[in-house]
Amino acid sequence: MHDGLAILTSGGDSAGMNPAVKCAVDYAAQKGYETHLVYDGLRGLLEDNIVPTTREQVSGIIHRGGTVLRSSRCPQFYDIDQRRKAYENLKRRGIGKLIVIGGDGSFRALNQFYNDFGVPFAGIPATIDNDIAGTDYCLGVDTALNVIRDAVDSIRDTASSFSRAFVIEVMGRHCGYLALTSALACGAEVCLVPELPYNLDTIGARLKHDIAAGRRYVIAVVAEGTKMGDYLTRWINDSIGMEARLTVLGHIQRGGSPTVHDRIMAYKFAVAAVDALDAGQTHSIMIYRDGTYGRLPIHKVADSKYEIDPALLKLAAPLAC
């Protein structure tokens, strides 16, 4: 008889979390596990917001964005006495394994929980920032990129109609992956990200040359981590002489129905997470690297820094100079 298995989502929400929840529940049941759902993330572990899974709870959720299990920020989880409450809640329900769908902060929290009480966990990377070390892909990224693409394509219509410049600020915390990929996919003229040095003088000379040659509008994509959205908009107005507007896409990037790619990635990550726990893995993170699915121990993920593919940076470098 297997220990019970509980599934939670933690940290910032992303499209793909719901498909991962459903697939993990379905596959774990096939393997003979009694599954539970934890609502409200880490806080739900502390407050015993844990319920046995029913078919109704995971029916009709695969197409929904966000997370039906909800999430939370929970600094109390870093208190050992609070974590002990969480352990007692799980122990009382016969739950001996956890799957957490979230980011590296959530993985670290569950690793501390494992070190304290020996409850094994498997992590599924889910964040639109795509900034988790060891994996090329996190759930929600493709959906977020498609949201950004739709927004930039719509803004381009207005830019061309009024011969204006538009600066579009996208999310990503300190990682420029979303901005970089979106700028390339949408044919932006300028892209500023933390990972690339940029030179406004050379950008300005390039844009002035293009305008003199007939360019009627400019699209610039900026990562929020550069904190350059407002400045670049004013700079284009003042230095280039083209009327400019700033659009901050914000949390719209986190929502939306998951794309086919995110749904399939969710399925493969969920199956891998259940298999990892079934094989006796205690603190592993599911990864996708160089076209191959695998897993890494938490320390290899938490102790490393995510780096964007150098080939992608090389492609985007001309947009920053």
> Pick the catalytic residue: 13, 40, 104, 129?
129
Pairing type for strands 95-102 and 244-248 reads unpaired
Adjacent-strand bridge partners of 37: 7, 51
CB 103 within 8 A of CB 126: yes
Those residues whose C-beta lies under 8 Å from the C-beta of residue 62, and which sit 6 or more positions away, are 18, 19, 22, 258, 263
Q: Please give the Cα distance from 190 to 223 (Å, whole number).
A: 11
Tokens of 115: 């070190």
Q: What angle do CA 69, 72, 74 make, to 5 degrees?
A: 135
Can you say how many angstroms the Cα of residue 94 is from the centroid of all Cα atoms in its chain?
Answer: 31
Tokens of 111: 């690793």
**H/E stretch holding 57:** helix 55-58
**How many helices and strands, by DSSP H and E, does the chain display?**
12, 11
Q: Please give the Cα distance from 262 to 126 (Å, whole number).
A: 10
Of 43, 20, 26, the C-alpha closest to 140 is 20
129 is catalytic: yes
Catalytic residues: 129
